C-alpha cells in the first residue's frame, strides 16, 4: 500500500472534490487516485489542483484505449477552452508497457534537442484492459494486473509543427529501441553462452581469459543493447552478417541509426588473423539511444575450430555498467584498438 504524506493526502482530497464537482465517473476518480498516489507530487507545488486534474484527465483520455504492445503518445499545449486548464509549456503524454530505461531514454532525447523539462511525472499503474485495449480498471500493481508506465512531461513550448512531428517520430523510435533491447535481453545472454561454447571448440589457452571476460560481462557488468552474428559463406575468405541474427538495436539492418553501425568492423580472414586476440573491444561511432547517451561499446568474439580455421564471430553492442571500470579479477580491459 502506498504511504502518503500530508501534502499528498491534501492533494488527493482536493482532486476528489474537483472530480465530484465535475461529476466524473467512479472509473475516472479511481484512476486519478492511483495516478497521483504513485506519482511524485513533491514538484507539483507550483500548479493548482485544477491544473493537475486537467493534465491527468487528458492523460487518462489518451490511455483509455491502447492496443496490446502499442504506444499511446500525444503532444498538446493546453488551453482553458479545450482542456479546462492552461500552461505555457508543451505537454507530452505517453502510455506504454512498463520497461526498464524508459524515462532516462526519453529525457536524454529531449535534452539533446536543447529543450528543458519543467515537470516529469511517472506513475506506474496496475491496469486491466479488454482484448481490444480498452481500459477497464486502474489499481495498485498486483499479480492480477499488468504494469504500465504513464509518463507526463512538460517541456519548453513548441510552436513549429515540423519540430513537433520530428520529436514525435524520434520518441517513437526511442521507445521501439527500448522495447527491442528489453524483449531481446534473455536471447542476448543466451548468445553469450553460445559464444563461450564456440570458444571451447579450440583448446587455445588465450580463450580461457576471453571466456572469463564473457562470463563477467554477463554478470550485470554490461548493459546488452544489441547482438548479431557473422558466419562463413561457402569458400569466401571473409565473414558475412547472418540474416535474421540481429537482436536488440541490431534487429533491423535498415535501422536509421544502427543499420550501418557495424560497417567498419574487420571481416576478412587476413584482418582477423592480424588481431592479437579472439576478443575485440572497441568504441563505436554511434551513441546509444537507450539508457545513457554514450558511445556504444563493441565486443567482438571470433572463434576457430581445432585446426585454427575461422568459423564465425559473435558481436555484441551495449554499455558497460557505471561501476564496471575494471574487468574480472580487477584487471583492466580498456584496450580500444579502433573505432567502427
Taking residues 275-280, report their average pLDDT.
Answer: 88
**Secondary structure tally for the chain: helices H, strands E:** 9, 12
Average pLDDT taken over every residue of the chain: 89
Higher pLDDT, residue 3 or 197: 197
pLDDT value at position 325? 52
Taking residues 157-174, report their average pLDDT.
Answer: 97
b/e 285-297 (16+ beta carbons within 10 angstroms → b): ebebbbbeeeebb
In this structure, are residues 320 and 297 in contact, taking their beta carbons and an 8 Å threshold?
yes
CA–CA dist 188, 11 (Å, integer)? 45
> Considering the chain, what percentage of its residues have pLDDT values greater than 90?
64
pLDDT tier, 324 (very low <50, low <70, confident <90, very high otherwise):
low
CA–CA dist 27, 6 (Å, integer)? 25
Q: State pTM to two decimals.
A: 0.89
Taking residues 142-158, report their average pLDDT.
Answer: 94
pLDDT value at position 274? 86
CA–CA dist 81, 86 (Å, integer)? 9
pLDDT value at position 306? 87
Let me know the angle formed at the C-alpha of 159 by 158 and 161, rounded to the nearest 5 degrees.
Answer: 100
CA–CA dist 331, 309 (Å, integer)? 29
pLDDT value at position 234? 74
CA–CA dist 304, 126 (Å, integer)? 49
CA–CA dist 279, 283 (Å, integer)? 13
pLDDT over threshold 50, residue 337: no
Helix (H, G, I), strand (E, B) or coil at 171: helix
End-to-end alpha carbon distance in the chain:
49
pLDDT over threshold 90, residue 201: no
pLDDT tier, 90 (very low <50, low <70, confident <90, very high otherwise):
very high
> Considering the chain, what percentage of its residues have pLDDT values greater than 70?
91
pLDDT over threshold 70, residue 335: no
Contacts of 178-181 spanning 24+ positions with Cβ under 8 A: 178/99, 178/100, 178/101, 178/102, 178/105, 178/290, 179/97, 179/99, 180/247, 180/248, 180/249, 180/251, 181/101, 181/224, 181/225, 181/226, 181/248, 181/249, 181/290
pLDDT digits (tens, 9 = 90+) for 225-262: 999 999 997 777 889 999 999 999 999 999 988 988 78
Give backbone dihedrals phi and psi of 335, rounded to 5 degrees, phi first: -80, 90
Higher pLDDT, residue 205 or 160: 160
Taking residues 100-115, report their average pLDDT.
Answer: 97
Higher pLDDT, residue 190 or 68: 190
Taking residues 182-209, report their average pLDDT.
Answer: 93
Q: Which residues pair with 281 in a beta bridge?
A: 299
Q: Which residue's C-alpha cell is 505517453?
A: 94
pLDDT over threshold 90, residue 277: no
Helix (H, G, I), strand (E, B) or coil at 145: coil
Identify the CA nearest to 303 among candidates 230, 222, 217, 213.
230
Taking residues 302-321, report their average pLDDT.
Answer: 92
In this structure, are residues 76 and 54 in contact, taking their beta carbons and an 8 Å threshold?
no
CA–CA dist 65, 98 (Å, integer)? 16
pLDDT tier, 267 (very low <50, low <70, confident <90, very high otherwise):
confident
Taking residues 24-33, report their average pLDDT.
Answer: 91
Q: What is the DSSP string of 239-268?
A: EEEPTT--EETTS-TT-TTTTTTTTTS--B
All three cell numbers of 149: 508506465
Taking residues 212-220, report their average pLDDT.
Answer: 96
pLDDT over threshold 50, residue 109: yes
Amino acid at each position: 500500500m502506498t504511504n502518503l504524506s500530508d501534502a499528498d493526502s491534501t492533494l488527493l482530497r482536493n482532486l476528489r472534490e474537483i472530480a465530484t464537482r465535475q461529476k466524473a465517473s467512479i472509473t475516472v476518480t479511481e484512476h486519478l487516485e492511483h495516478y497521483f498516489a504513485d506519482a511524485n507530487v513533491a514538484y507539483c507545488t507550483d500548479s493548482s489542483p485544477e491544473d493537475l486534474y486537467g493534465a491527468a484527465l487528458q492523460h487518462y483520455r489518451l490511455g483509455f484505449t491502447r492496443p496490446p504492445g502499442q504506444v499511446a503518445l500525444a503532444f498538446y499545449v493546453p488551453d482553458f477552452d479545450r482542456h479546462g486548464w492552461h500552461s505555457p509549456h508543451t505537454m507530452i503524454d505517453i502510455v506504454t508497457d512498463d520497461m526498464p530505461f524508459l524515462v532516462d531514454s526519453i529525457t536524454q532525447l529531449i535534452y539533446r534537442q536543447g529543450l528543458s523539462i519543467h515537470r516529469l511525472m511517472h506513475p506506474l499503474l496496475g491496469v486491466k484492459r479488454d482484448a481490444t485495449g480498452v481500459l477497464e480498471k486502474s489499481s495498485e500493481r498486483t499479480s492480477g494486473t499488468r504494469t504500465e508506465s504513464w509518463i507526463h512531461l512538460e517541456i519548453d513550448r513548441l510552436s513549429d509543427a515540423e519540430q513537433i512531428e520530428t520529436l514525435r517520430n524520434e520518441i517513437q523510435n526511442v521507445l521501439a529501441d527500448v522495447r527491442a533491447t528489453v524483449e531481446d535481453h534473455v536471447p542476448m545472454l543466451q548468445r553469450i553462452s553460445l559464444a563461450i561454447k564456440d570458444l571451447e571448440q579450440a583448446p587455445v589457452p588465450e580463450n580461457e581469459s576471453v571466456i572469463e571476460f564473457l562470463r563477467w560481462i554477463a554478470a550485470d557488468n554490461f548493459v546488452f543493447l544489441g547482438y548479431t552474428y557473422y558466419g562463413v559463406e561457402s569458400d569466401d575468405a571473409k565473414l558475412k552478417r547472418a540474416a535474421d541474427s540481429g537482436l536488440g538495436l541490431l534487429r533491423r539492418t535498415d535501422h536509421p541509426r544502427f543499420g550501418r553501425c557495424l560497417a567498419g568492423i574487420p571481416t576478412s580472414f587476413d584482418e582477423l588473423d592480424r588481431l592479437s586476440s579472439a576478443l575485440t573491444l572497441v568504441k563505436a561511432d554511434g551513441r546509444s539511444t537507450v539508457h545513457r547517451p554514450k558511445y556504444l561499446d563493441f565486443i567482438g568474439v571470433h572463434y576457430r575450430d581445432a585446426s585454427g580455421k575461422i568459423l564465425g564471430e559473435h558481436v555484441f553492442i551495449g554499455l558497460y555498467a557505471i561501476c564496471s571500470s575494471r574487468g574480472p579479477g580487477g584487471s583492466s580491459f580498456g584496450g580500444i584498438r579502433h573505432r567502427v
